Amino acid sequence: METRAPFVVVGAFVLAAILAVFGFVFWLHNTSGIGARTSYHIQFRDPVPGLLVGAAVLFNGIRVGEVTELGLASDDPRRVNATIAVATNTPVRPDTKVGLDFQGLTGVPVVALEGGKDLTGSAIATTLIAEPGAGMSMTQAAREALRKVDSVLGENSQPLKETIGNLKTFSEWLSSRTGKLDGILGGVERMTGADEPVVKKVVYDLQPASGFSPPVRSMKGQLTIPEPTTVVLYDSQKMLVAPGLDLPAFAGAQWSDSIPKMLQEKLIQSFENYDIARPPLRPNDAVTPDYQLLIDIRSFQVAGEGAPSADVSFGAKIIDKNGRLVSARLFRQSARLDRPEPAAAVTAFETAFGAAAKELIPWTVDSLSSGSAVEVKPAIPGSSDMPKGR
């Protein structure tokens, strides 16, 4: 009797372990527990491949129960009836959507419930109707889509054949006219500029005039310098080259601002370098000027035959606050380029502009100091570009 006791203990332990494993598996597949359940009837209008009794029931992705019964409808051979048992607190409503979902690599089917918009009511007294195609897997859906595509192609085979024939005829016509098409495309490229090489833009700035002698006299009254006027040609940011000069290096050269705005800024800075105590200002609502210096740009480009030079030419008029002409004069300076390159042109423009500014500023100061009489001085003797003074 004593020798059999250990075997009884071992057998009881093994039996208890087996029961524990079965209990764990049952708990794992029934996470809702074994509490109170509510049953619902579902009607599937399509096949439900792979759905078995005991399959999980998910509500918004959360397991709430399982399938308890499956059967075929005797009055409709296409319909499948199913009964599910879910936790009593599951918010199943009359508008709850029903479908099948396929999970995992093997595509295990589960009943998928999705909550609707109704916040009240119950589906206990009603039968839930699954959505059309609810039992269709990805493979079946792809097969059905291919079947529809094949049907469409079969119904339109003749029009498709005619379309392919027309495309073949058109391609043969195009191949026979390749030369003409090349000419047409070349003309379009030339018209739009697409055949022109891409030009890299380089921006240059102009330095104001400097190195003035100490001012002998200060400027009388408040002077403003409006933006200079000019023709459309010079209202540009490009570094301009006169017609007839072949200088391809200037294709991408441009100034830091349009020529009128740049000259306005550089003239003001030049006046400041002459006498910082009484500099001119730009016109604005806060300033009532006593005088205005009006600049009209006549030339600001690379010009000249043979050796190119930077040509700077502008007319200047001083008017008082009553619009009376105080003085007027033409200024023109030029400087040769060391090399036919934009950098050398900038140096030449600075030289020509600096020389013109060093004539303009003392003339402006003297004109404002003398005050009353109208003075008209041409830059070139005998020039008739400006009216004679009275």
Radius of gyration over every alpha carbon of the chain, rounded to an integer in angstroms: 48
Do 116 and 231 lie in one domain? The reply is no
Residue 15 falls within a domain, yes or no? no
Beta strand segments in the chain, E: 37-44, 56-59, 62-72, 80-87, 97-103, 108-114, 127-129, 202-204, 223-224, 253-255, 291-303, 309-320, 325-336, 375-377
Q: Is 322 helix (H, G, I), strand (E, B) or coil?
A: coil
- Structural domain ending residue among the three candidates 87, 115, 137: 137
Burial 329-361 (b: 16+ CB within 10 A, else e): bbbbbbbebeebebebbbbbbbbbbbbbbbbbb
What pLDDT, on a 0 to 100 scale, did the predictor assign at position 209? 92
Do 250 and 109 lie in one domain? The reply is no
Beta strand segments in 225-351, E: 253-255, 291-303, 309-320, 325-336
Q: What are phi and psi of 109, to 5 degrees?
A: -80, 140
Residue 13 falls within a domain, yes or no? no
Do 104 and 213 lie in one domain? The reply is no
CATH of the domain at 281: 3.40.50.10610
What pLDDT, on a 0 to 100 scale, did the predictor assign at position 53? 87
Spatial separation of the C-alpha atoms in residues 236 and 250, rounded to whole Å:
14
Residue 107 falls within a domain, yes or no? yes
Residue 192 falls within a domain, yes or no? no
Residue 172 falls within a domain, yes or no? no
Beta strand segments in 140-208, E: 202-204
Token couple for 267:
């003239």
- Structural domain that includes position 231: 202-377
Number of domains in the chain: 2
Residue 9 falls within a domain, yes or no? no
Do 245 and 336 lie in one domain? The reply is yes
Do 228 and 334 lie in one domain? The reply is yes
- Residue 87: count other Cβ atoms within 10 Å of its Cβ: 18
What pLDDT, on a 0 to 100 scale, did the predictor assign at position 43? 85
- Structural domain ending residue among the three candidates 137, 152, 181: 137
Task: Enter the pTM of the model.
Answer: 0.49
What pLDDT, on a 0 to 100 scale, did the predictor assign at position 35? 65
What pLDDT, on a 0 to 100 scale, did the predictor assign at position 177? 75
Low-confidence ranges of the chain (pLDDT < 70): 1-5, 7, 24-35, 104-107, 119-126, 133-143, 193-199, 285, 371-390
Residue 182 falls within a domain, yes or no? no
What pLDDT, on a 0 to 100 scale, did the predictor assign at position 380? 45
Residue 384 falls within a domain, yes or no? no
- Structural domain ending residue among the three candidates 137, 164, 179: 137
Do 221 and 360 lie in one domain? The reply is yes
Do 216 and 339 lie in one domain? The reply is yes
